[in-house]
Chains A and B, each alone.
Chain A
Amino acid sequence: MSEFLFEQRNTIVAFLIIGLIISLALSIVKGRRVMATERTDLVFGNPAKALGGWYWIITGMSFVMLIWFYFSWDAARAYNPKAANELCQVAKVESAIKPMRSQFPLDKQNLRGTDLIARDSAQLERINNSLQTLALQNSVKLEAAAILTSLHSALVDQANPVYMKASLATEFKSIAARIDSLTANFNDPDFPGQPTVAQQAAAAAQPGWGDTGKEIPVLATTPLGYRYEAIAAEIRLIAKDFVKLRNTSPHLLAQVADINSRIKDAKARFKADLNISIEEQEARTRLYSQLNKMLKRIDDGAIYPPNSLDDIQSSLVAFDKTHIAQQGSLKAFDTWMMPGGRIMAGNSACSEQGSGRWLPKPSDTLGTLMRIADPDIGFKDIPLLWYRWQPVGGMIAFLFPDWIAELVPGDYPRHTQNGEIKSNFKSNVQDFVTGNYESFSIPVPMGHMWDSIIRVVIGLFFGIILGVPLGLFMGLSRFAKGFFDPMVELYRPVPPLAWAPLILTIFGIQDDGKIFLLFMVAFAIMVISARTGATGTQLSKIHAAHSLGASHRQILRRVILPNSLPEILTGIRISIGVCWGTLVAAEMLAGTTGIGFVENVARKQSDYEVIWVTIIILGVLGLLFDLIMRAVITRTIPWRGKG
């Protein structure tokens, strides 16, 4: 069933998107119609205006889902499953041409040679300026300055057409011609001819877009794809040949050899000279290494005369134009249907970058959720939410403290000569208090989700049980307020993660530490909300109860508590939200299970689908808890906001 759904997900998503657009439109129409009728009935500010409104819920949900489908490129995949594959071939061309392109002022401002001359002369200038401040003998300074001048002329002479390496002109021409012929091929609809059977078979055998973790199939499958793939292979060779070219003219080589020998000579004389101050030694070592580095950079011959590359540049521009024109509707599809990123060709595979990468597709995310929800797979061998059979004895063992067994007189049994272990009364008692006996089993929920829920629920439970009475007490007694207020207010603003190292030392790695962290969060909120509720009770109500003869206990139970219930319940709602927020941090302490643990591990594997699954689970669980609280609120305090 789920496999069928997974295979058909593109069709399903395609219909779903249309359905979402329709429901978005209809619900907006409905909402506007209701608004129009209400405009005359309800004045501005009437809270009844915010009640109900299921159509706006549909509007909001449809909007969010559409945004998700759109920016995760699920919509693009649903309507054109081959697009990624074709764009992958396009990206191959772009990445193949990049080493060559990046030398021209096409994607950036300057020709590479211009950049190099600017950069290197600036650095020569810096070294020259620093010469004045260094503690050097004058002769050394003069010598270094002369070398710097030679370096500079070696640098700028490369730009002089007179000194250009003789073979370069023809090589540039041939590169430009090769690009031009490739551009012609690009326009030829028959290029590169029919794919071979082996090519087709290999292409057909690869999985579709997003079918596996490899995301995008690499081999071309469409005529356009074949053409781009073939062009990419050729342009890669051309780019390689171009990048290999060097303007190492005899003139430059002679200059380099000359400078090299001068630096070496200066270094040798420096080494031989024994009476140089330490300060000067350091300065000179550094100076010669700087000169060497500059020479090494300049001898690359990466600078050409200013206009020598014009042919290649205009060929590249023509190639670019064809390259874009040939994409046709694919280009528009890429721009409009795959926003926020692009498909990139690495050397091993094509991959989605941008929002397509970090925002997994809803259909894939659902697939991942269904996969790890399968109790046989789970995450790290633990299911998300499942059950296991557990003996009752072990579960109720916590009722009996283990030291009971120690009180029984006698010793624990020892194994006999033939390896038997006979139990005695003392060991039987110990087995009982530790739950180590045969008892019937009952199914108990387990798994990452269950563990997280239990932690939150227990933390909340203790937060409420302890926080509400303390809050009420603080609202009623000057002593309690004065005594506890500084403590609560001091620890409340500290972010939970700051407590983490302490909690690890105090509680260890078991659940109690994580629960304590959640408890602390819930506790502060409960104290404050209960206190606010208690102090907000109207004095006239208390006076009325008093004059009717109510005892202190009755006033607390019948007047103050019901009056502070709205605040308390709102406090619970807030602390539920904050507890879920803290859970990920709590489970980072010592991760064994839990949604936060799943997220932490998935992060280390850059597994964005699982990360989104955990985000969605956390969101849905939080929403579920909140819905329960809303039901509780409407049931217990229906008078809220009506008094």
Chain B
Amino acid sequence: MTPLKPLAEPCPQYLPNDEPACRKPHPFVDVDRLSLHYGAKLAFQDVTLSISKGCITALVGPSGCGKTSFLTCLNRLTDLIPTCLVSGRIMIDKLDILAPQTDVIRLRRRIGMIFQKPNPFPLSIRRNLEFPLREHGVRDRTQLGSAIETSLRDVGLWDEVKDRLDSPALALSGGQQQRLCIARSLALAPEMLLMDEPCSALDPISGGIVEDLIVRLRGRYTIVIVTHNLAQARRIADHAALFWVHNEAGRLIETGPAKQIFEEPHDPLTAAYVSGMRG
């Protein structure tokens, strides 16, 4: 059983890129020459990247360059695909997670993941949050109750759903469902959140709410977000990594502080992409 973090004070709104929460970069994830094959097809190759604790790292780049595949390596969802072959090394908090003896269940508990399409289970709102907690050994009713309330408050959903916790989660709107999914991950008190285009399946207003939420989570969680929306990446990211397709396989072509990537990129491809000329 893990002690749940106390309810944090509402996070101060950061002015994007002015005052990064992670001013002192403190590496949390170290990816070393990571490659991934689906059967004979190479998805991406030789990605070396460091992700800092408490920061928002945005992965950007054109479709099909392996960003999502890269994300699924970090919590070993790749294990679900039988033909998938990962090589290289990923160290998370000094732990080699690709080692065969890694307990993926515990790993995934420490790393939450949010998908493009909201995917609550066909259960009630309460059961959606309660069921994974119970599975991870939280049995005490009051503790469950407070964990549910805390995580729903964290995502700003508490006031909207507190009177209908037992109604089906699938009856919520798309944006609410997505925030519920984030709450579901937060309830497990992860250290890191992987987000695969969390706003792109939502309408602009819901997407904006989710984006604000992500910004508020900065500092408490290490966040890696895949996004196609360059404006969004520019608004929220502390660091950015640009993927590109070379010879039908994804590669990481530039990485650095978001400010540098978007304003003074070194690589001409990056410059073209962020200025909207390519990709």
Q: Do A and B bind each other?
A: no
Which residues of A are interface residues toward B (Cβ below 8 A)?
none
Which residues of B are interface residues toward A (Cβ below 8 A)?
none
